[in-house]
Amino acid sequence: MPRQLHLNAFLMNTGHHEASWRLPESDPYAHVSLAHYVNLARVAERGTFDSLFLADGPQLWSNLAQRPAGALEPLTLLTALATATEHIGLIATASTSYNSPYNLARKFASLDIISGGRAGWNIVTTAGAEAARNFGLEAEPAHAERYARAAEFLDVALKLWDSWEDDAIVGDKAAGVWGDDAKIHPPRHQGTYFSVGGALNVPRTPQGYPLLVQAGSSEDGKVFAARYAEAVFTAQQTIEDARAFYADLKARTAAAGRDPEHIKVLPGIVPVIGSTQAEARALEQTLEDHIVYTHGVDRLENLLQLPSGALELDGQLPADLPPEDAIEGAKSRYTLVVELARREQLTVRQLIGRLGGGRGHLTFAGTPEQVADAIETWFTQGAADGFNIMPPVLPSGLDAFVDHVVPILRARGLLRAEYGPRTTLRERYGLPRPANQHVSPELATV
């Protein structure tokens, strides 16, 4: 079949634009409404998206005045959404810094079984002192240490998901034999960060293990992605940067001994859609007009690790900002924001406006045809395997994309018209079911 787009719906309360909750149409309580997320999941499924995604972090972001804060725990919410949908993949963020492998592997295995093979894990290492203090630490661990812990965490999780062979359950009522203990393989892992003895208490799942997603674009992040990730959520502002990232990550994946086709690169895009370009620009301006810039300054100073009061709204970023190597937080997002401000000579006010819709992801305002053109260009010119669709306002932005952009993509042969016979999230992403590491390849289920 011709190559087709992979689309993921990144769902965030009232929308990705920080001022979306202030629009008359928005429900300020949507972030804790199951009905809101059920509706969004069903809209994305109507658009034949591969998956939907819920971000998460183990802390309450400061400044409740800015936008709806807090969120339902994503694995719990996705379990509810699994019963309200039939096809769409269900991806949740979960931190390797503030979880244990056994509990998290069990939760994702349970979601995969309940959903019939639609679970995905966005693997993050969690930057920020706020989260660290919630888990008894005075400061966040160093960037390199977080990724070293993440690698061991994932190795243990893979051992746990493989601790049951696929045919460990016998179910022989006549013989009185329910299962075969010879097909259970406890990890007995002793490592730098974890010690895990016993097998998982959940059988091997429909996918073997969930789709593995990663979202960091730092050097450590790219090394980790090349080794483990099967889909990568990334942020680039230009097609040139996107093509460079795409080529680099595919080459790293091949160098790691993996098939580059088994890692899908999905840049984020915030589509502001209008029936005319003027209408799209007007919606974009309405959102920007509702930004409270004092909130934006606080957030930008935190990202850039500057003291309070260091930025002036109508001035530019300081000339002496530290290099990425000196940053222990979100390294790649730091670099993206600084380069955007320098490249376009933006004032702090202008930069906050640019970041208000997608926090550094590409924001594109235009007609459905123009949005489809941009997606097709990036997809066909070596910049993406698909996109992380980030509607600025929910539910209207997702409705507009599904109702008006999706039909164009289908007409161009870039997107499926229906889900078809493939049922698991891995199959939708063109990935094989992983062989159990305890079974010889010729006997493994693929």
User: What does the alpha-carbon distance between residue 258 and residue 126 come to, in Å, rounded to a whole number?
Assistant: 26
> Which sequence spans correspond to the domains of the chain?
6-273+361-443, 292-355
> Which class for 325: exposed (0-12), middle (13-18), buried (19 or more C-beta within 10 A)?
exposed
Question: Any idea which residue has 């007007």 for tokens?
Answer: 282
Strand bridging mode 89-95 / 119-124: parallel
Report which of 72, 156, 53, 66 is spatially closest to residue 388, judged by C-alpha positions: 53
Question: What are phi and psi for residue 265, nearest 5 degrees?
Answer: -100, 120
User: What does the alpha-carbon distance between residue 18 and residue 301 come to, in Å, rounded to a whole number?
Assistant: 16
Instruction: Give the pLDDT confidence score for residue 444 in this predicted structure.
Output: 44
pLDDT digits (tens, 9 = 90+) for 42-94: 999 999 999 999 999 888 876 776 777 778 999 999 999 999 999 999 999 99
Please provide the CATH number assigned to the domain covering 6-273+361-443.
Answer: 3.20.20.30
List, as one string, the DSSP characters of 270-339: EEEE-SSHHHHHHHHHHHHHT--HHHHHHHHHHHTT--TT---TTSPPPTTPPPGGG--S-HHHHHHHHH
The answer to whether the Cα torsion of 199, 429, 233, 15 is positive or negative is negative
Question: Any idea which residue has 């990425």 for tokens?
Answer: 324
Strand bridging mode 169-172 / 177-179: antiparallel
Report which of 93, 89, 98 is spatially closest to residue 150, judged by C-alpha positions: 98
- Determine if residue 325 is labeled as part of a ligand binding site: no
Instruction: Give the pLDDT confidence score for residue 302 in this predicted structure.
Output: 77
- Determine if residue 286 is labeled as part of a ligand binding site: no
pLDDT digits (tens, 9 = 90+) for 383-435: 999 999 999 999 999 999 999 999 999 999 999 999 988 789 999 999 999 99
* Orientation angle between helical segments 74-84 and 101-115, nearest 10 degrees: 10
> Which class for 28: exposed (0-12), middle (13-18), buried (19 or more C-beta within 10 A)?
exposed
Number of helices (H), then strands (E), belonging to the chain: the values are: 15, 13
Going from the C-alpha of 395 to that of each of 156, 365, 392, the distances in angstroms are 38, 17, 9
pLDDT digits (tens, 9 = 90+) for 239-287: 999 999 999 999 999 999 999 999 999 999 999 999 999 999 999 889 8
pLDDT digits (tens, 9 = 90+) for 98-150: 999 999 999 999 999 999 999 999 999 887 888 888 888 888 888 889 999 99
For residue 147 the two structure tokens come to 């990724």
Do you know the residue count of the chain?
446
pTM attached to this predicted model: 0.88
pLDDT digits (tens, 9 = 90+) for 324-379: 666 666 666 777 788 878 888 888 888 887 776 656 678 889 999 999 999 999 99
- Determine if residue 147 is labeled as part of a ligand binding site: yes
405 DSSP assignment: I
- Determine if residue 218 is labeled as part of a ligand binding site: yes
Q: Helices in 92-137 by DSSP H: which ranges?
A: 101-115, 129-133
User: What does the alpha-carbon distance between residue 403 and residue 394 come to, in Å, rounded to a whole number?
Assistant: 14
Instruction: Give the pLDDT confidence score for residue 296 in this predicted structure.
Output: 76
Q: Where are the beta strands (DSSP E) in 221-275?
A: 231-234, 264-273
Question: What are phi and psi for residue 120, nearest 5 degrees?
Answer: -140, 150
